[in-house]
Amino acid sequence: MELLTEGFDVEPRRVCVTVFGGDERCGPDVRSEQVWSELGLPPERIVSLGSENWWTGPDGMCGPDSEMFVWTGHGHPEGSPLTDGRWVEVWNHVSMRYRENDGGLVELPQRCVDTGMGLERTLMVLQGVGSVYDTDLLVSWTRELDRLWRTDTRRRRLLCDHLRSVTVMCSDGVRPSNSGRGYVLRRLIRRTLTEMWGHGGDWTLGDLPDGPFGSTLELMDLGGGIPVVRDILLSEERRFRSLIERGRPLVERELRRGPLGEPELRYLHDTHGLPRELVLSLSEEVHDG
Domain ranges of the chain: 2-127, 132-245
Predicted pLDDT of residue 124: 92
Which alpha helices (H) appear in the chain, and where do they start and end?
2, 30-38, 119-127, 139-148, 153-171, 180-197, 210-220, 226-257, 262-272, 276-288
The domain made up of 2-127 has a fold known as BirA Bifunctional Protein; domain 2 (3.30.930)
Place 102 in a pLDDT band, splitting at 50, 70 and 90. confident
Tell me what pLDDT residue 109 has.
93
Give per-residue pLDDT as tens, 127-136. 999 899 999 8
Tell me the pTM. 0.74
Model pLDDT, residue 199: 59
Asked whether residue 223 carries a pLDDT value surpassing 70, the answer given is no
| pLDDT at residue 62, as a whole number | 93
- What is the pLDDT at residue 201? 62
The dihedral of CA 161, 164, 166, 172: what is its sign?
Answer: negative
pLDDT at 45 over 90: yes
244 pLDDT more than 90: no
Q: Which residues pair with 117 in a beta bridge?
A: 91
Question: Longest Cα pair distance anywhere in the chain, in angstroms?
Answer: 70
- Mean pLDDT score of the chain: 89
Q: Is the pLDDT of residue 288 over 70?
A: no
Q: How confident is the model at residue 137 (pLDDT cuts 50, 70, 90)?
A: confident
* 218 — pLDDT class (breaks 50, 70, 90): confident
Nearby residues of 154 by Cβ (< 8 Å), 6 or more positions away:
none
Residue 89, pLDDT above cutoff 90: yes
**Residue 149 has what pLDDT?**
85
Of all residues in the chain, the percent with pLDDT exceeding 70 is 97
Binned at pLDDT 50, 70 and 90, residue 275 comes out as confident
Q: What is residue 106's predicted lDDT score, i.e. its pLDDT?
A: 92
